[in-house]
């Protein structure tokens, strides 16, 4: 049966199946990762067939569409539960993310290790010659330290431990998608009014830990991929946008 359905993937990609078959194929795709991969690749080829049918639409269509859009509400995004079975990270630029609020003090350090898998990163930072190491320790051990994290687009994770009383945070960026040497990840503090750069990671690096002094009204901490050395304004979409506990 499933082999039968499988042979329909090509016809499905061309919308050349009936409604029943379409349902069967799409059900099959949720259960078969390699089939979903093939289906996705065929779709990417199929849409290019429309390269040869481009045609200028009537000018009035633009006005009608834009007018209808103005009075049309957008659908709510699909929110995936943090506990749900592992899925590829979804990236919709909305503040929807699994958030952890964890208890305090030393627990925060353990939490970072547990949730970000970054204990090694942290250990590297421990040497006392790093002047920020003590500040990081202070944040992690602050009584009001809270942890939030997000799976990054393309892999890896961004974890933030923030202390409101200290107005400081530690951001741990771990194992983001590899970038070439002419690209850098950049971290941003975003609030109601705008954003500022919190730092640019070394070109080609996909992991780093940083200490942030002066959180202010920061709502979320975002990470973007930029040309090496960073940009004045973030290139969207963000790779991750971790909302800070309110």
Site residues (CB under 8 A) for another protein, limited to 137-156:
153
Using CB under 8 A as the binding rule, whether residue 196 contacts another protein is answered as yes
The 8-class DSSP code of residue 48 comes to G
> Quick one: which of 1, 33, 55, 246 contacts another protein (CB under 8 A)?
55
> From CA 46, how far away is CA 59, in angstroms rounded?
27
If the CB atoms of residues 2 and 106 are measured against another protein, the closer one turns out to be: 2
Reference 244, options 187, 165, 134, 159; nearest CA is: 159
* 40 counts as binding another protein under rule CB under 8 A: yes
For 126-153, give the DSSP string.
-STT-HHHHHHHHHHH-TT-EEEEEEPT
> Within 10 Å of residue 208's Cβ, how many Cβ atoms?
19
- Write the interaction track for another protein spanning residues 87-106; mark x where CB under 8 A is met and - where it is not: -xxxxxxx------------
Check binding of 200 to another protein (CB under 8 A): yes
**Interface with another protein, residue 193, by CB under 8 A:** yes
CA nearest neighbour of 161 among 116, 129, 120 = 116
Name residues contacting another protein, limited to 205-224 (CB under 8 A).
205, 208-210, 214, 216
Closer residue to another protein, CB minimum distance, 137 or 197? 197
What is the phi/psi pair of residue 210, to 5°?
-140, 155
In whole angstroms, how close is the CB of 223 to another protein at the nearest point? 12
């Amino acid at each position: 049966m499933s082999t039968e359905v499988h042979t329909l993937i090509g016809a499905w990609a061309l919308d050349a199946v009936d409604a029943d078959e379409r349902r069967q194929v799409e059900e099959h795709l949720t259960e078969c990762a390699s089939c979903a991969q093939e289906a996705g690749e065929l779709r990417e080829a199929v849409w290019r067939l429309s390269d040869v049918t481009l045609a200028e639409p009537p000018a009035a269509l633009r006005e009608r569409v834009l007018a209808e859009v103005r009075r049309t509400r957008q659908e709510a995004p699909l929110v995936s539960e943090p506990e749900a079975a592992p899925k590829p990270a979804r990236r919709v630029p909305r503040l929807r993310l699994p958030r952890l609020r964890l208890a305090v003090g030393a627990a925060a350090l353990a939490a970072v290790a547990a949730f970000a898998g970054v204990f090694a990163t942290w250990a590297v930072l421990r040497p006392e010659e790093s002047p920020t190491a003590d500040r990081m320790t202070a944040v992690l051990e602050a009584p009001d330290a809270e942890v939030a994290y997000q799976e990054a687009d393309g892999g890896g994770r961004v974890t933030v431990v923030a202390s409101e009383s200290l107005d400081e945070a530690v951001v741990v960026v771990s194992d983001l998608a590899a970038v070439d040497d002419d690209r850098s990840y950049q971290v941003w503090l975003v609030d109601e009014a705008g954003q500022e750069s919190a730092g640019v990671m070394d070109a080609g690096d996909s992991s780093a830990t940083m200490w942030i002094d002066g959180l202010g009204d920061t709502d979320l901490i975002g990470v973007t991929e930029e040309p090496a050395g960073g940009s004045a304004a973030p290139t969207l979409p963000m790779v991750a946008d971790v909302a800070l506990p309110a």
